[in-house]
Structure 1
Amino acid sequence: MSGRLMFVTFLAIAAVASPTRAEAKSGSAATSVATTPRATAVAKSQQKVARYFIEFRARYALSYGHAYVIFGRVNAAGKMIDRDVAGLHPASNSTVPYVLGHYIPVPAETGVSDGDLDDRYRSASWRVILSQAEYKKVVAYIRDLQARSHFWQATVQNCNAFVGQIARSMGYKTPGIWLRPRNYIIELREMNGGPNAIGYTGPPG
């Protein structure tokens, strides 16, 4: 009797201490649920890696250069992964409209021009990181400005003036539009970004 009692007691203790298959499954599910918030946080962190930006830029050219903006997204390393270009320039590769545009307005384009995306030709730049809301606002202004910019004229409505309108829409101060594009971007950066602004300055060219 004493031996049987001890055996039954041992079985009872083992049954209490050992989880059932359902309990084990439930515990596994609980562990899975517990890791879900962490996985979600990681996913959200990865989504935040890509940031929005606008870069005010000037490039070298056979003339005195060209000013324009590049805008889109950059990854955590600062590399552009999604980009678009807006800038005002004569709607022709011929030098004739360019020369005439120093006296009278000539038809203009507001998209990318030859050399805009080639870093070898960059003479100066100033990059500003934006929130998604700020970016959407800036892009909406750029699209509207492009839609109503039909002419280029060197002394009144030139590439610097186009860039300046975008900068002022963002609340920045702007220099005079008669500077060389390289100097215009440098002054724009110094007037608003301070000495630690994200930028580049190339040789005079």
Structure 2
Amino acid sequence: MALGRSGLSLVVMLAVVASSCQTEDKRPLPHYTSNGRGLARTNAAEDKSNRHFIEFRSRYALTYGHTYVIFGRTDKNGNMINPEVAGLAPASADAAPYIIGHFVPVPATTGATDGDLEEQYRSASWRVMLTDEEYSDTVAYIRKLQATSHLWDASIYNCNAFVANIARHMGYNPPSIWLRPQQFITTLRETNAG
């Protein structure tokens, strides 16, 4: 039986998705902090004026993990003050929508999910310190994205794609959305942090 073009495309797409899920996560990677231009922070005076941040983060999960952002303010020691979380995930704690979402889009949530702020689940992160203007612009974009992202699809619009949109808006070049979350965040940082 011959496959039509759409059937062949489906087989290729499923092969790409399946192959991206075959690697294993590494041990948790160190925390990295950069300024808004992606360069490592070195200037203490700059630290005092730029207390807003966005952190691109991945965490371990029962499956291949999750990618999301945390944003807010830090205290003088770099600790987060009332952080907010934005990410894209199926809108249910039940496994069924997650599984179905590998074949067809399912309803999504764009806020925090279980484990996002728990340090033991962090697999990689890249914190970018922002000026007030950069922060206001980024948060406005995140709010717009949250208001318009209603569906999650593992192959087309997943958590990596959601975070890639934020990174792209900030002027960064995001990696492929089909990487595992830890690889996605690590590659995002390595590609853009100078």
TM-score by length of 2: 0.74
Between structure 1 and structure 2, the one with the greater Rg is 1
Compare relative contact order (CA 8 Å, sep 6+) and give the higher one, 1 or 2: 2
Moved over 2 A (4+): none
1:94 matched to 2:98? The reply is: no
**Is 1:81–2:81 an aligned residue pair?**
yes
User: C-alpha separation between the residues in 2 aligned to 1:163 and 1:137?
Assistant: 15
Deviation of 1:64 (Å): 0.1
Please tell me whether the aligned partners of residues 50 and 75 of structure 1 are also in contact (alpha carbons under 8 angstroms): no
Q: Which residue of 2 aligns with 1:136?
A: 136
Residues 20-169 of structure 1 mapped to structure 2, 5 A cutoff = 48=48, 51-169=51-169
Q: CA deviation at 1:76?
A: 1.6
Which position in structure 2 is the counterpart of 1:183? 183
Partner amino acid, structure 1, of 2:132: Q
Deviations 1:7-45 (A, max 9, x none): xxxxxxxxxxxxxxxxxxxxxxxxxxxxxxxxxxxxxx9
State the Cα RMSD in Å: 1.2
* Percent pairwise identity: 61
- Please give the per-residue CA displacement for 1:63-83, whole angstroms capped at 9, x wherever unaligned: 000000000001121111131
Q: Hey, which of these two has a bigger chunk of helix by percent?
A: 1
- Taking structure 1 as the reference length, the TM-score comes to 0.70
Q: What letter matches 1:180 in structure 2?
A: R
- SS of residue in 2 equivalent to 1:63: coil
Q: How far apart are the structure 2 equivalents of 1:187 and 1:141?
A: 22
Number of positions where the alignment pairs a residue of Structure 1 with one of Structure 2: 148
Segments of structure 2 that go 5 or more residues without pairing to the other structure are 1-44
State the distance in 2 between where 1:61 and 1:185 align.
15
Letter aligned with residue 135 of structure 2: Y
